[in-house]
Chains A and B, each alone.
Chain A
Amino acid sequence: MRSWTRSLDRRRLLQKSSLALVAWPLMKVLSEERALAAPMQKRAIFWYFPDGIIKPLFHPQETGSQFTLPAMTQALERVKSDIIMLKGIDYKTEGSHEGGAAYCLTGMPQNKPGLSLDTVLGQRIGTGSPLPVVRLGVGSNFQRNGSVSFYAPGIPSVIEDHPAQAFYGLFGKSQAPVDPDTQAKIMRGEKSLLDLAKSQLQSLSLDLNATEKQKLNVHLEALRELERRVQASVPIDSERLSTCTNQVDMRGLSFPEQETNYPPMVHRNELYATIGDIMMDMAYQVLACGISHVLYFQWSHPVSPTQFDFPGSPGIHRGHHDISHYGGDIKSSYAAEFVACQSWYMERLARFIERLGATQDGSRSLLANTSLLALTEIADANLHDFTNAGLILAGQAGGAWKTGRSLELSGTSHNQLLVSILQAMGQSDETFGDPRLGRGALPGLFTT
């Protein structure tokens, strides 16, 4: 049986000719000559971690630039100057894990259909890159309970959990360089294929009522995006940042091309941390290589089944969601276990922030041009409430705001945070999601 190689890079993919043949033409685009993207490209990152927080152990007590990170966020101490701890923001929704998940990036309450902010930013600022938005996950499809990212109103996005397939989709390359004439013929074939599919859709569409037409419109949009990718004139900017290597260390893992076991290797609990590291590398390369300016990263999923006894974990033999129900007493040993789990996530977040901070991007760091929002779908893990949610901003969003602060925002709506990120990314929107749930940016966030 063939298997994915230990360390994937483009050259090695080249040797895998049978794989290469099935590659999407996008890969050709990725391999073409590159032009420098506009300087000061802003990036948006959404970083989801599951199952809520314990508020007093997550939020600092103090406000302003002098603050102490409590146990659950202690791991962020070393990137303290690059984050903003957001206290007191409320999720204006209901419906437990699922309602919170459906709201926290769409701003739409009670499972009402909406687009998530990663999708919208992909449409607004992502079109200059090979991929408008990249969505990566670690075990995010395992038992999939509730979704955070939505590509169409009410319809969850696909999130890639498989390191080898993700790599192949992002960095792979379909074939060895060919002469311009052959290249033109290949492109014409791809274009004709898409044109025919579009005309078939349009012809079927004539027979449909309005609701059914909308389904095909989604499909048409998808084909237009593929067409854009085939024709994209802004190919991958892989030499822009010296840290862009187009390589991801697979850490000794070899993924079977055909899974015969259950659960499949990508969802094996003991590999959670390892695959997490691989996917974080992948996410970093996506940004460093300019493959996308919008990244959605999802750890597990709401009501997470991850057993926290994998290598490198706190060694708790229960599922994450079970652990998250710590019983309400923040001094109990159960609370301490949940703190250990969420701290594990915060440690990964700190590493990712550090790495962005250490990457030069023009005259600043990659982090300085980025708005990273870390979020989870409910507030208190035990109560499933929605007040004073666990939210952290990292990066300076190109100078939009100053970091190294703890901000008191008591009673403000999370919708305003979503608006703030839109505005930091150069958009002029005053509302996002349900407009009744908050207008304008968060007070005191932006540098005036």
Chain B
Amino acid sequence: MRARIFKLRTRFGLTLFSGLIVGCSKPPTFVPQPYTSKELLSPGDASPREGMTHRQVLEKIFAPQPSCDAGRDLRAPALIRRLTRDEYQNTIRDLFQFTSDLREFIPADEQVLGFRNNSSLNLVSVDHAVAYSRSAGRIADQVLDKKWKDLASCSFEQEGRACIEQFLRDRLLQIWRRPAREEEIQDLLKLYDVGAALSPREGAKLLIRSLLSAPAFLYRTELGKTGQLDAYEWASALSYFFWASTPDAQLLARAADGSLLQDEVLSAEIQRLLTDPKARDGVKAFAESWLAYSQVLAVNKDGNKFPDFTSQIRVLLAQETEDTFDALVRKQGADFKSLMLLDTSLGNEALATYYGVPLEKDADGNTLLKFQGQGRRGIWGQASVLASLSYAHETHPIKRAVFIRQHLLCEELVPPPPTLNIQPPPPREGASTRERFAAHSSVGACKGCHVRIDGIGFGIEDFDPIGRQRTVDNGRPVDASGQAYDIDQQTQNFQGQAQLSEILARSTRAQRCFALQWYRMAHGRIEQEADICAIRELGDRMQSGLSVRDLMIQTITHPSYRQRRF
């Protein structure tokens, strides 16, 4: 394997900007060098169109005037997608009723634009192959020791090959998420024979290891050989999207009799999937990527300065976002606007104390944190997000603004060019974070980019490095006057986090961006030229107050997902 086999990628995400400039001292010689589509992810597309950069794709998606004619080819590329680490864990859990966590043994997935399910990066390296093999051995032992009688009604120790064959004929569909061909079953039986030369148990173990190392297990195949995903591919796509896990027996039965391809059955199945508690995992996978809130568990904080930011609070804050987002999406039918205007969340006594807000019980017995008395709005206004986007001892206005531009507005920003002499502000006593950062970013060379960043970041200074409301920073009164530069071709001044969230709630771009984020999640890849029209169409439906739940459904059932260029 040599270089140039992959047309990959620039990694995006906040990390790119962790060192973003906040001060400059040289004249601007900066010409942004857009990444070409060749360097971007172009999975499954044998002939990516040359020349269209990711930036240009985004421009088309967000252009005010539509450029899509009816009858446009919307089909997605045929794709294979390796299970993410979480999907692998959930799949094993659901197949074998496993409670132990295997994730520690599987390498972490790479992130692209926050998403961990990017099918171009999630491959099987030697290290992955070793990890899968070890994990499969571990699972095989447990299955043979404890679970076999749940999986088969025969004993391989007594009946040998015949029992194994029965097991395969009964269970392989569920493990591989598609029917096995006869020769595949014969190959597996031969493998059993090889192991059985030692003992029936060694044979059975070898077989289970093989089932769990097979491409049919490790990859989701979305080929759509007939131009459309087949019933099993479709069942698998649905369950990994809504559950982040493998299809259950009922879904596979609907695939087996083909009824899943009928609209009424499909619609009923989707409602069932969304109602099932497992749907929490699917919704969480999106929320973690979109809001990056789970960084709150690990982000550095100065313990002397913030003694309240304990490890228990970190966990509760992550839980708050996870619970709230899940309830909004699956139970309350929230739309994008209500995600941005939210002024309550699900929490407990400890969080109420942390935030300094009242706690109330709602009609369903949930305990709600009431933020009405604080200038805090929107799911991204929760402390899990704001604390993640801060330094250990002070806020990070740049990081916060870059998050808003990238995650909530789907803008592509580029890091400062090397020719620019950047001087981040030195720590200084008696100056607020804003004063220090502003002094360095008002200079000409940096202004071009930072006009998009600073006005937004400074406007959120009413929340401290651990996400609590504040009025004083380093002995100076907080100035949270902000400017939302060029959102939907408008520049609006605002005061504090709440008003910014209100601007986002109204923003056409933010709504479309949200649809685009779900599109990325569903497809497991970064958008390309061929996706523009589908994303625009889904984005346009957001304007009429489409619920997130319906957006999920419409994204996965859209022709741009089900139809494939095989």
With an 8 A cutoff between CB atoms, is A32 at the interface? no
Contact with B along A219-241 (1 / 0, CB 8 A): 10111011000000000000000
Say which one of A33-41, A80-88, A139-147, A360-368 lies at the interface with B. A139-147
Question: Is B18 a contact partner of A145 (Cβ separation < 8 A)?
Answer: yes
How long is the Cα–Cα vector from A286 to B368 in the complex, in angstroms? 55
Question: Is B302 a contact partner of A318 (Cβ separation < 8 A)?
Answer: yes
With an 8 A cutoff between CB atoms, is B439 at the interface? no
With an 8 A cutoff between CB atoms, is B8 at the interface? yes
Highest count of chain B CB atoms <10 Å: which of A22, A94, A98 = A22
When distances are taken between beta carbons in the complex, the residues of chain A under 8 Å from B9 are 111, 113, 154
Within 8 A of A (CB), among B178-230: 184, 187-188, 190-191, 194-195, 197-198, 202, 206, 209-210, 213-216, 219, 221, 223, 225
Question: Is B215 a contact partner of A319 (Cβ separation < 8 A)?
Answer: no
When distances are taken between beta carbons in the complex, the residues of chain B under 8 Å from A176 are none
Question: Is B214 a contact partner of A200 (Cβ separation < 8 A)?
Answer: yes
With an 8 A cutoff between CB atoms, is B46 at the interface? yes
B16's partner among A96, A186, A222 (CB-CB below 8 A) is A96
With an 8 A cutoff between CB atoms, is B374 at the interface? no
With an 8 A cutoff between CB atoms, is B559 at the interface? no
Question: Is A226 a contact partner of B130 (Cβ separation < 8 A)?
Answer: yes
B209's partner among A18, A193, A326, A327 (CB-CB below 8 A) is A193
Question: Is B415 a contact partner of A94 (Cβ separation < 8 A)?
Answer: yes
With an 8 A cutoff between CB atoms, is A289 at the interface? no
Contact with A along B43-73 (1 / 0, CB 8 A): 1111000000000000000000000000000
Contact with B along A80-115 (1 / 0, CB 8 A): 000000000000011111110010000000111111
Question: Is A307 a contact partner of B6 (Cβ separation < 8 A)?
Answer: no
When distances are taken between beta carbons in the complex, the residues of chain B under 8 Å from A358 are none
Question: Is A382 a contact partner of B423 (Cβ separation < 8 A)?
Answer: yes
Contact with B along A14-42 (1 / 0, CB 8 A): 00001001111010000000000000000
Question: Is B223 a contact partner of A303 (Cβ separation < 8 A)?
Answer: no
Question: Is A95 a contact partner of B415 (Cβ separation < 8 A)?
Answer: yes
Say which one of A63-71, A258-266, A394-402, A421-429 lies at the interface with B. A258-266
How long is the Cα–Cα vector from A326 to B100 in the complex, in angstroms? 45
Known: A112-B39, A153-B8. A158 touches B225 (CB 8 A): no
Question: Is A189 a contact partner of B195 (Cβ separation < 8 A)?
Answer: yes
How long is the Cα–Cα vector from A188 to B127 in the complex, in angstroms? 22
With an 8 A cutoff between CB atoms, is B363 at the interface? no
Question: Is A217 a contact partner of B1 (Cβ separation < 8 A)?
Answer: yes
Say which one of A54-62, A203-211, A274-282, A340-348 lies at the interface with B. A203-211
Q: Closest CB of chain A to B306's CB: distance in Å?
A: 11
With an 8 A cutoff between CB atoms, is A334 at the interface? yes
When distances are taken between beta carbons in the complex, the residues of chain B under 8 Å from A385 are 418, 421
Question: Is B141 a contact partner of A18 (Cβ separation < 8 A)?
Answer: yes
Question: Is A199 a contact partner of B123 (Cβ separation < 8 A)?
Answer: no
When distances are taken between beta carbons in the complex, the residues of chain B under 8 Å from A197 are 210, 213-215
Question: Is B134 a contact partner of A196 (Cβ separation < 8 A)?
Answer: no
Known: A99-B415, A327-B427. A218 touches B1 (CB 8 A): yes
When distances are taken between beta carbons in the complex, the residues of chain B under 8 Å from A93 are 418
Question: Is A303 a contact partner of B44 (Cβ separation < 8 A)?
Answer: no
Question: Is A110 a contact partner of B78 (Cβ separation < 8 A)?
Answer: no
B315's partner among A157, A262, A319, A383 (CB-CB below 8 A) is A262
Q: Closest CB of chain A to B442's CB: distance in Å?
A: 18
How long is the Cα–Cα vector from A280 to B141 in the complex, in angstroms? 33
With an 8 A cutoff between CB atoms, is B171 at the interface? no
Contact with B along A265-305 (1 / 0, CB 8 A): 00100000000000000000000000000000000001101
When distances are taken between beta carbons in the complex, the residues of chain B under 8 Å from A267 are 298
How long is the Cα–Cα vector from A267 to B10 in the complex, in angstroms? 27
Question: Is A264 a contact partner of B126 (Cβ separation < 8 A)?
Answer: no
B19's partner among A214, A258, A327, A384 (CB-CB below 8 A) is A384
Known: A153-B6, A212-B78, A263-B297. A196 touches B45 (CB 8 A): no
With an 8 A cutoff between CB atoms, is A78 at the interface? no
Question: Is A222 a contact partner of B125 (Cβ separation < 8 A)?
Answer: yes
Contact with B along A344-380 (1 / 0, CB 8 A): 0000000000000000000000000000000000000
With an 8 A cutoff between CB atoms, is A392 at the interface? no
With an 8 A cutoff between CB atoms, is A6 at the interface? no
Within 8 A of A (CB), among B418-460: 418, 421-427
When distances are taken between beta carbons in the complex, the residues of chain A under 8 Å from B188 are 196
How long is the Cα–Cα vector from A215 to B122 in the complex, in angstroms? 9
Write the chain A residue with the least CB distance to B14.
Answer: A145
Write the chain B residue with the least CB distance to A306.
Answer: B300
Known: A153-B8, A192-B191. A96 touches B415 (CB 8 A): yes
When distances are taken between beta carbons in the complex, the residues of chain B under 8 Å from A193 are 191, 206, 209-210, 213
Question: Is A114 a contact partner of B128 (Cβ separation < 8 A)?
Answer: no
How long is the Cα–Cα vector from A414 to B336 in the complex, in angstroms? 48
Question: Is B18 a contact partner of A199 (Cβ separation < 8 A)?
Answer: no
Q: Closest CB of chain A to B245's CB: distance in Å?
A: 21
* Count of A interface residues, CB-CB < 8 Å: 94
How long is the Cα–Cα vector from A298 to B30 in the complex, in angstroms? 33
With an 8 A cutoff between CB atoms, is B311 at the interface? yes
Question: Is B302 a contact partner of A222 (Cβ separation < 8 A)?
Answer: no
How long is the Cα–Cα vector from A154 to B202 in the complex, in angstroms? 39
Question: Is B215 a contact partner of A158 (Cβ separation < 8 A)?
Answer: no
Write the chain B residue with the least CB distance to A22.
Answer: B137
When distances are taken between beta carbons in the complex, the residues of chain A under 8 Å from B225 are 207
Question: Is B8 a contact partner of A192 (Cβ separation < 8 A)?
Answer: no
Known: A143-B295, A207-B225. A157 touches B422 (CB 8 A): no
Write the chain A residue with the least CB distance to B105.
Answer: A165
With an 8 A cutoff between CB atoms, is B80 at the interface? yes
Contact with A along B401-428 (1 / 0, CB 8 A): 0000000000000011110011111110
Q: Closest CB of chain A to B425's CB: distance in Å?
A: 8
When distances are taken between beta carbons in the complex, the residues of chain A under 8 Å from B191 are 192-193, 196
Question: Is B421 a contact partner of A169 (Cβ separation < 8 A)?
Answer: no
Question: Is A307 a contact partner of B300 (Cβ separation < 8 A)?
Answer: yes
With an 8 A cutoff between CB atoms, is B79 at the interface? yes
Question: Is B15 a contact partner of A318 (Cβ separation < 8 A)?
Answer: no
Known: A22-B134, A332-B426. A217 touches B5 (CB 8 A): yes
With an 8 A cutoff between CB atoms, is A331 at the interface? no
How long is the Cα–Cα vector from A216 to B124 in the complex, in angstroms? 8
With an 8 A cutoff between CB atoms, is A177 at the interface? no
Q: Closest CB of chain B to A253's CB: distance in Å?
A: 16
Within 8 A of B (CB), among A146-160: 146, 151-158
When distances are taken between beta carbons in the complex, the residues of chain A under 8 Å from B29 are none
Write the chain B residue with the least CB distance to A160.
Answer: B127
Question: Is B216 a contact partner of A226 (Cβ separation < 8 A)?
Answer: no
With an 8 A cutoff between CB atoms, is A411 at the interface? no
With an 8 A cutoff between CB atoms, is A436 at the interface? no
With an 8 A cutoff between CB atoms, is A448 at the interface? no
Q: Closest CB of chain A to B147's CB: distance in Å?
A: 16
B426's partner among A185, A218, A334 (CB-CB below 8 A) is A334
Known: A21-B141, A158-B128. A219 touches B215 (CB 8 A): yes
With an 8 A cutoff between CB atoms, is A328 at the interface? yes
Known: A21-B141, A209-B46, A319-B392. A152 touches B5 (CB 8 A): yes
How long is the Cα–Cα vector from A110 to B36 in the complex, in angstroms? 12
With an 8 A cutoff between CB atoms, is A325 at the interface? yes
A114's partner among B3, B7, B137 (CB-CB below 8 A) is B3
When distances are taken between beta carbons in the complex, the residues of chain A under 8 Å from B127 are 151, 157-158
When distances are taken between beta carbons in the complex, the residues of chain A under 8 Å from B184 are 200
Q: Closest CB of chain B to A323's CB: distance in Å?
A: 10
With an 8 A cutoff between CB atoms, is A321 at the interface? yes
Question: What 17 additional pairs, Cβ within 8 angstroms, besides A22-B138, A186-B198, A386-B418?
Answer: A95-B415, A96-B17, A96-B19, A153-B3, A185-B194, A193-B210, A193-B213, A204-B216, A207-B223, A219-B129, A259-B101, A262-B314, A303-B15, A305-B300, A318-B300, A319-B391, A325-B424
Please name 14 pairs of A and B residues whose Cβ atoms are closer than 8 Å in the assembled complex, sorted by A.
Answer: A93-B418, A142-B298, A145-B15, A162-B104, A186-B198, A189-B206, A208-B223, A209-B78, A211-B46, A218-B123, A219-B129, A221-B1, A222-B124, A302-B15
The 8 closest A-B pairs by CB, nearest first: A327-B426, A154-B8, A158-B127, A22-B137, A219-B124, A145-B15, A319-B300, A222-B129
